[in-house]
Amino acid sequence: MPQRYDELIKNNQIWANQKQQTMPEYFARLSHSQKPPFLYIGCSDSRMPLDTFTQTEPGELFVHRNIANQVSVTDINFLSVLDYAVNVLKVKHVIVCGHYRCGGVAAAYEGKVKGLVGNWINPIRELVLDYNAELNLIDDIEQRLDRLSELNVIKQVENLYKTSIVQHALAECNVCFQIHGWVLDLKTGLIKELELPLEQWKAKGLVPVGMAQ
């Protein structure tokens, strides 16, 4: 694991040289354009590079990351990424990916974080209050936080459907892209695809009635 800044540069040079030797056209191809089929919305946690876990190459994932993988409908940075992915890149899949043992989720549950970070994760604190009865039935604290991570992902997917960008896109083509909720288990390296309450969201008018799960 690199500990010094200069190691990062050295590692980059080694990697670039190896790529050039094994795939001479790699960088020429990469420099032309991007057409990724996936938009990945994930947590900023340093243990969460999804390209490693999915064995994807540069150019295959369009990425937005923030603390605790929030989908904030007032975040212009996020909305611009979503707009570009949906309307310019024409991605086929939008993925919200959280993870177990998430520090942001734990901090929100404990309610001890203040300042900008506290403000950012406050929506998760609201989830704690909304699902307090369900969470309290789980005796093991780690399992309770894992469930909160899942609830957080599901809520962020719902927030995606609430954006005007997604609503307009779905109104135009209905199934032009699919939206998924994932949780990564850092203990196993495996991704869990969450079941989404699409029927409930259809009743709210967030999801087109004809859209399949």
Q: What angle, rounded to 10 degrees, do the helices at 141-162 and 122-130 form? A: 110
Of 6, 32, 51, 99, the active-site residue reads 99
* Strands across the sheet containing 38-43: 61-66, 38-43, 93-99, 178-185, 190-193
Q: How far apart are CA 5 and CA 142, in angstroms?
A: 35
- State yes or no: is 43 an active-site residue: yes
94 burial via Cβ count (<10 Å: 0-12, 13-18, 19+): buried
Hey, CA dihedral for 35, 159, 79, 54, is it positive or negative? Answer: negative
Q: How far apart are CA 160 and CA 165, in angstroms?
A: 9
Of 29, 47, 93, 168, the active-site residue reads 47
Of 4, 29, 32, 43, the active-site residue reads 43
Of 97, 102, 146, 147, the active-site residue reads 102
Name the DSSP class of 29.
Answer: H
- State yes or no: is 83 an active-site residue: no
Nearest to 123 by CA among 162, 202, 183, 67: 67
- State yes or no: is 97 an active-site residue: no
Of 6, 29, 32, 45, the active-site residue reads 45
Residues taking part in catalysis: 43, 45, 47, 99, 102
